[in-house]
Amino acid sequence: MAKRPAAAAPSTVHDDRIDRLFSIPGARTDRWRSLHAAAQAWARGRGERTAVEAALEELGAYEEFFAYPGTRLVSALRQRIGAGEAEGAASLSRRISESILTRAYKHDGGAWETAEQLADAPPGLVTATMRHEPGVRPYFEMLVVSPGAVERAAHQESELRRLRRPEDAFIYEAVPVGSFEDAIVAILLNPAIAAVTIYEGFDYSSRHQAPVLRSVLAAAGFDAAHVADDDMSITLAGGLKRLRPELDIYLLSDRQVERIAADPRAACVRRVLYSVEELLELHLSVLEGIADRFRTPFFDNLKKYALRPISTFHALPIARGKSVFKSDWIRDMGEFYGLNIFLAESSATTGGLDSLLEPTGNIKEAQAMAARAFGADHVFFVTNGTSTSNKMAHQALVAPGDIVLLDRNCHKSHHYGLVLAGGQPLYIDAFPMTEYSMYGAVPLASIKKALLDLKAEGRLDRAKMVDLTNCTFDGHIYNTRRVMEECLAIKPDLIFLWDEAWFGFARWSPFLRPRTAMGAAEAIEKWVADPASVEAWERQQAELGDSPSQETLLATRLIPDPRKVRLRVYQTNSTHKSMSALRQGSMLLVKDVDFPAVEAQFHEAVFTHASTSPNQQLIASLDVARRQMELEGYGLVANAIEVALDIRRAVNAHPLISKYFRVLGADEMVPAEYRQSGFVDFLKPGVSWQDQVRSMQEDEFCLDPTRMTLVCGTAGYDGTQFKKLMADEYDIQFNKTSRNSVLLQSNINNTRSDVAQLIRVLMQICGKIEDQLAHSGENGRAEFAARVKSLMKDVPDLPNFSHFHEAYRGDAGERTPEGDMRRAFYGAYYPEGCEYVRLEDAQCDRRLKEGPEMISANFVIPYPPGFPIMVPGQVITKETIDFMRKLDVKEIHGYERAKGLKLIRPDHAADSHRK
């Protein structure tokens, strides 16, 4: 191992701020605009050359990591400024600035020309090799890591451009860098990079001070001391893949190609080439690599299908659109949606279209490509939302009587899934956030305790699955790896179902990925295969001794026995919630070493739950969503995070808005005991990237920055009121509400204009509140204060899960609260066995005091908060009644105000027990 010089320390805390990394692309556009403004002022005699020079300096070293405008245009600009050509500098900086803003350089070859070539010379002079075909061919950038890359940049650029052919499906430009560090920086900063070519012999250290990234490099484990000279190419390839697994990596060497190709660590490299003679081969490979991600087998075929003149003699008259376009009465539907949607409709599984229920052709292929993209072994496309994906997972994996440990806050599809499958829920409560009327996530200690209790009672073999929501609605992210490892240490064949309905996009962020189900599963898979893991396990066993107490086990970070672990991880995600899929487009991801044993059960689950008339457009959109994320997901997700950080900063720092509204920071969403690293919040002064990365690695829970709880109770609005006001009067839609907050979510669709609009509207609302308070006198101000107090302080306690009635406990032991929910659910099908008690009746209080116990006959789910405060068979306690009585929401599923609570009569419950 060669020892290398240590990287320079960050220059200032400010440069190391978390939001800096995400704001670089946006800040870059702003800086080019400022440069142009300075050049224009200079040209009009209203500014100085020094201001233009300073603005160019401001652009800084980051420009090197983007292909456009590139060294040639920047040096032309520098020359003009140096030669005092103010007009020329202004016009070139305008063109560059506009081109970056509108992204015209991706499609317009002219954007790459210097002004001399474009304006001062006849158009015929522009060389064909430099032109891009306007509009048609998607554009990407290729990182080229090579010794002396920066010095030879112009040569390398033109070499690659010379290889372009009209037949090429895509067009690319090179981003040359000369060092390991610069390569990492480039792929983090520049989302347009889709392929990487590495030539041997590059340096390790960057020529630049890039403080914002130094700490990220160190925290991500890119430590100079651990990179050996002859390994550097492969180590770099591995590092790049770890950060952005979707990238295609090519390694060019003028020696030892066979040795490199045979190195197992080079498995992440798409092709190893002999550099002297292979430039055309490289070009073709790069295009093929992109084509491989671009291909959407189902969608491509659907487009072809739509072009064919097909006569249909089966159902679905809407297919081909004739009944629509020939109609006098519904033609507007055709005009609204356009012809293609009807041409692409079909109820057939023939003619090139595959069957979602038993895919053998292009759906199968599309699913396999999604599995590759999401890091799974298998993927099922689901066209009825994650509600269905969850029910499918429950049916396929859980048999009647199996115990499933789950968060009571889980989406209702899990609870209904268990009713259908007959699994017994062992509810574990999440930590409460009473002041905001919401729950957080389930502490690991509670999950371990439940498993250890089952073990103590000799029923651990019945525990089949742990089922959690990651991230939760409000953004709590689990330490997925730690949860799985510690649970596997207690029961090595447990199955994990991670409901990542909201979190599918996280795969495309290197900061969030390790906390996803598949990210963690990959890490555990590698750990299991590492021989050193057995030693770690043996060491811990020796320390724990023969019969460690439950307290010791709860206090220890348990290591599983890698030889016994059966890694069985499932993830469901609402692709439609965070990626470009149509409503209800969902995926079920599988990474299960024992999948062959349950595969048939999954097919049964598909047959049970999937419609036999799946919608072609939904399937196509899942295929396309995968394509988009593989080619531009990294940049889109980084942008969503930037938007979120912008909103957080703009709301909390604004002198007027922050008087009435506030976005809760990580410290307010995650209690200190679960933030072991001491992390406070993304934007707190002094908090650095290293702190953030440590928090992601160590903390029990982190906060997804894109999910923002905006407290509105302090402005006198309850969540529902505020959501309605924003939607009705300002056309701004929010996600969910609590008693005193609304949830904002940024996603891959948001832009900086959305942030500006939100801030403008919040300012207007705050202005109105100020006016009202100024004009409403003492009484009005007191009324406002009382309303705020009621919303913020008089909040009902959240009712924890009580227990199942004895009649539904079966052989359950003393220590754990699982029960046979399914029997209670079906018990409610017999009217003679049910009764109703109205909340406001004295009978309700009498029953609470004197009995007999009230047993819920069904799920009762108020919106918000949206989780079942009663489940079938659950004994209703005073806490639940108090909560119900204080609830001021209109929508309560499973509860008819006029009739009251539907209960199972205790004698009926007891009878059903005897049956």
Ligand X SMILES: Cc1ncc(COP(=O)(O)O)c(C=O)c1O
Min dist. Cβ of residue 18 to ligand X (A)? 26
- 3-state class (DSSP) for residue 137: coil
Q: CA-CA distance, 677 to 667, in Å (whole number)? A: 12
State yes or no: residue 409 binds ligand X (CB under 6 A).
Answer: no
Residue nearest to ligand X (CB): 385
Q: Which amino acid would we find at residue 695?
A: S
Residue 486 parent element (H or E)? helix 480-490
User: Could you tell me which residues are beta bridge partners of residue 903?
Assistant: 835, 856
State yes or no: residue 737 binds ligand X (CB under 6 A).
Answer: no
DSSP state at residue 411: -
Q: Give the C-alpha distances (Å, rounded to integers) separating 463 from 394, 402, 410, 459, 560.
A: 14, 6, 18, 7, 17
Q: Which is nearer to ligand X, 415 or 902 (CB)?
A: 415
Range in contact with ligand X (rule: CB under 6 A) among 293-301, 365-373, 379-387, 602-610: 379-387
Q: Which is nearer to ligand X, 385 or 519 (CB)?
A: 385
Min dist. Cβ of residue 483 to ligand X (A)? 17
848 to 877, contacts with ligand X by CB under 6 A? none
Q: Locate 835 and state its tokens.
A: 């009764």
For ligand X, the binding residue among 197, 215, 386, 639 (CB under 6 A) is: 386
State yes or no: residue 411 binds ligand X (CB under 6 A).
Answer: yes
State yes or no: residue 501 binds ligand X (CB under 6 A).
Answer: yes
Q: CA-CA distance, 867 to 469, in Å (whole number)? A: 12
DSSP state at residue 47: S
Q: Which runs of E-coded beta strand occur in 781-823?
A: none
Range in contact with ligand X (rule: CB under 6 A) among 307-315, 380-388, 399-407, 809-817: 380-388
State yes or no: residue 186 binds ligand X (CB under 6 A).
Answer: no
DSSP β-ladder status, 855-856 and 901-904: antiparallel
Q: Which is nearer to ligand X, 296 or 469 (CB)?
A: 469
State yes or no: residue 474 binds ligand X (CB under 6 A).
Answer: no
DSSP β-ladder status, 707-711 and 741-745: antiparallel
Q: Locate 192 and state its tokens.
A: 């347009």
Q: Which amino acid would we find at residue 861?
A: I
Range in contact with ligand X (rule: CB under 6 A) among 80-88, 294-302, 381-389, 824-832: 381-389
Q: How many residues bind ligand X (CB under 6 A)?
A: 11
Range in contact with ligand X (rule: CB under 6 A) among 220-228, 385-393, 830-838, 899-907: 385-393
State yes or no: residue 499 binds ligand X (CB under 6 A).
Answer: yes
387 to 406, contacts with ligand X by CB under 6 A? 387
State yes or no: residue 497 binds ligand X (CB under 6 A).
Answer: no
Residue window 427-466: x/- pattern of binding to ligand X, with contact defined by CB under 6 A = ----------------------------------------
State yes or no: residue 747 binds ligand X (CB under 6 A).
Answer: no
Contacts (Cβ under 8 Å, ≥6 apart) of 826: none
Q: CA-CA distance, 635 to 573, in Å (whole number)? A: 20
Contacts (Cβ under 8 Å, ≥6 apart) of 233: 198, 200, 251, 253, 260
CA dihedral 725, 726, 728, 730 (to 10 degrees): 130
Min dist. Cβ of residue 413 to ligand X (A)? 6
544 to 583, contacts with ligand X by CB under 6 A? 574
Residue 741 near residue 710, CB atoms below 8 Å? yes
Phi, psi of 749 (to 5 degrees): -95, -15
For ligand X, the binding residue among 374, 473, 679, 804 (CB under 6 A) is: 473
Q: CA-CA distance, 164 to 890, in Å (whole number)? A: 63
678 to 717, contacts with ligand X by CB under 6 A? none
Range in contact with ligand X (rule: CB under 6 A) among 203-211, 384-392, 557-565, 779-787: 384-392
For ligand X, the binding residue among 586, 802, 880, 912 (CB under 6 A) is: 586
Range in contact with ligand X (rule: CB under 6 A) among 42-50, 146-154, 272-280, 383-391: 383-391
Q: Is the peptide bond before 864 cis (omega within 30 degrees of 0)?
A: yes
Helix axes 412-421, 385-397, angle to 10 degrees: 30
Q: Which is nearer to ligand X, 413 or 858 (CB)?
A: 413
State yes or no: residue 738 binds ligand X (CB under 6 A).
Answer: no
State yes or no: residue 375 binds ligand X (CB under 6 A).
Answer: no
Min dist. Cβ of residue 800 to ligand X (A)? 20
Min dist. Cβ of residue 385 to ligand X (A)? 2
Cβ-count burial 102-125 (b if 16+ within 10 Å, e if not):
eebbbbbbbbbbbbebbeeeeeee
Interface with ligand X (CB under 6 A): 385-387, 411, 413, 469, 473, 499, 501, 574, 586
